[in-house]
Structure 1
Amino acid sequence: MIKVLIVDDESWTRDIIKAFGDWEQLGMVIAGEAEDGQDALRQTEELAPDIIITDMRMPGTDGVQLLQLLNVRFPQIKTIVVSGYDDFQYAKHALRYKAMDYLLKPVDPKELNTALLHCKNSLEAAQLDRGAWSLDLDISITLGTYKQLVKSHYNELNKEGIVSTLTQMMNEIEKIGNGKPAILEQVIQEMILLLKELMIANSQDTDRLSAIYGQEVIGSSTATCTFLTLYYEEALDQLILHRKFKNKLNLDEVRHYMDKHYSESVTLEQLARAFFVSKEYLSKMFKQEYGRNVTDYMLHLRMVKAKEWLLDETIPIKAIAEMAGYEDITYFYRVFKKHFGIAPGEMRKNSEV
């Protein structure tokens, strides 16, 4: 198992990371937790973790110092930076000390698991004497918007949308990176990791993707686009066949999909289209099986999660709203009170009594 050490002075952040990580699926185990950099170094010597997830602002030895020391003393360890501050200086430190990814609080489950996959595959590549590559944050930022579009198109089974987005993405990367091999390699790694995440979320076999990490860097942006398009189309065709030509609708798959995507804007129409049934049929069968319609089930998922997080008074209610999929905190308050008959702040206050 790949061993992970979580470093953050806030217990709620550590708890959220523990809750959001797909540890078993990724073949990982949380080996330990530390509240500051000094404790992290002590545990690193004792536990020999493969991956360290660290905050930047901590008392005593902070994240910057920790990254610097790890880079010198334990260069083989992969690091992921989690920060509550969208500060370019921290991003520069993360890049300088070869962090694999830089995530902002509140932690997004999908971004966290993508970063973990990134680390896992880099560790696997290192075992094959391939050598680790450092992350160019500018390229990652550029890829961010395109990743969101690709996710949406994949979940909607929109092959044309994926092809168009990948083409636009590579045109922009060509302008920024001038076709440099290291940039093209990073694009391939990040986009294949995204595909792996999407396939796992849809219960697809990802074994074939493992072979990609031993290949040589592709020599042009056009070839990279063709390469990525091939893999995405193949995976999407596999998913479409799986859903379209089964004897009947698999409601467990629908619920699994909703459980994975509760923080996103998932509608009945999107679900019906993705599972090749009418929205009327899906709504009827789902309610018959689970006693709730699709919209109510999604709302229930979000509210249950929000209630769990509220029990930890150190988590800001605004962060809870965002993690539950609500950008408008006022709307979150209204929905929460309607669902539980009590406002989030009141529930938190009552739980302290």
Structure 2
Amino acid sequence: MIRALIVDDEEWTRISLCKQADWKALGIELAGEARNGISAMELIRERKPHIVITDIRMPAMDGIQLMELLHAEFPHVLIIVISGYSDFEYARKALSFGAFEYILKPIETEPLMSALERAVDKLLHERERQADYVDLYRKANLSELLSKEKVLTRLVTSTASDSKEIENALRRHDILLDWPRTAVLAIEVANFGEISARRYKQDKDLAHFVLANVIGELFRKYPRTILFRNIGKDNELILLKGLDEEEDQTNMASLYEDCRLIIDTVKQATQFELNIGIGREFTELTDIHRSYVQACEAVQNAELVHASRVTHFDEVSSRNEYYIYPNDKEKALLYYVGNQYKGQAVALVAGLFEEMKRNAALHPQSIRSTALGLIFAINQALSPYQASINGLGIGNAENTIRSTRLTVDELSADVQRIVIAAIDYLSSRKKTGSYRGVEEIVEYLGTHFHEEITLGGVAERYFLNPAYLSRIFKNETGQTFNDYVNTLRLEAATRLLKDPTLKMSAVSEMTGYMSEKYFFKKFKEHYGCTPTEYRNRKA
């Protein structure tokens, strides 16, 4: 049975969620409720839920802090975030910590059930995958398929819940992990593709053999170590380091320092450049995957924490502040990009990253999320042109920012490069006269003319300078903005006047004229007669 936990400081919300979903039909058992992150973590450690449904704003420990703890301790738990705050930054934070779904309050049954169904499907699929893998373990003739490297790779890269199954699988392949404590080291080979092509003629197996032998020899001084390549990643090796109960921080510091020497030695001997991330130690084999995830996160975020090639996960997780750039900065960026103010846009981006760089307590994921938020804003500025950043010939910017090992300065430079590319693209489109933005505005006016519409309001919606919009609108349509809107309204009025049951006040209001007197005035100016006279003629 799949277990779920509800976390919200409002009792009526917890009660509503309990009653709103058909838990039995979904195959979900409610494991409990909590009113904040602190009490939630106690229940999570005790009852081991598979799904956590949490609010963002809560006392004592809020939803973002809870997600950070879950991300570190229980990375396999699926998190569904509920919040009454539609601010993009909250969603971005939630997603950066692996939130499975984000639902806004008031919670409607359909999106809630849909999110829960998807979560159940994902969990069941993972169980089936693990069951298939366990079944493979039990087959006697798979010695070639299940080599030690494949077994160990699967062990660290997949979540598992049965330590006995793991021990039996390892024993069948003569692999012993019977140490009191263990740490996982993820060893990234930054230039594996380049060196294997240049020095080993694209023979990746030979490159792996050389690399593993050199690194293995250098780690030989350490007892209780197992080194193997990650079968799923060409550029990664994994080291399992066993620790005795009496081994203290001094021993770990020695290992930490020796990793730096090993990196230098490997570079001199093979030209391979290594980055090493170290996960937290664990005592239960079922926690090996968590330590591996932490080691990978340490490698990925090392440059955002310090300039070292060896990073412990604690150096990443100890940074617990989150940056939310002001809305006025985002609006300013949209305005600068939309109007091709390149210098101002680049300076704004540079200033934001310089501010983050000065804050040594910022979580690396917060810095990446800010970069992604800026990209999201730039895409908004490009949308009136039916364009996006990925179509500007600069690669997949979002993937680069999400997964590449970058410094704050490199992230800043990447976003500045994207800003420049977006502005250059907009400038070229306008020079060739192919401005689809006016077409989109015309479409918008055609469906919203009955609302209160102003040139300034539409310019703000499409991130344009009002004077500039006024000029290009006249060039493209042959009418001023106000004349165009007025024509749309009056044409709609003539259609409505064909219905004799509609009062003039209703026709006036339905076409966007808040004053009936003003409606009569504009109608007569345009058609040479009053609306009443027009209706009588058409009757």
What is the TM-score of this pair, normalised by structure 1? 0.47
Larger RCO of the pair (alpha carbons < 8 Å, separation 6+): 1
Mark the structure with the bigger radius of gyration: 2
Bigger fraction of residues in helix = 1
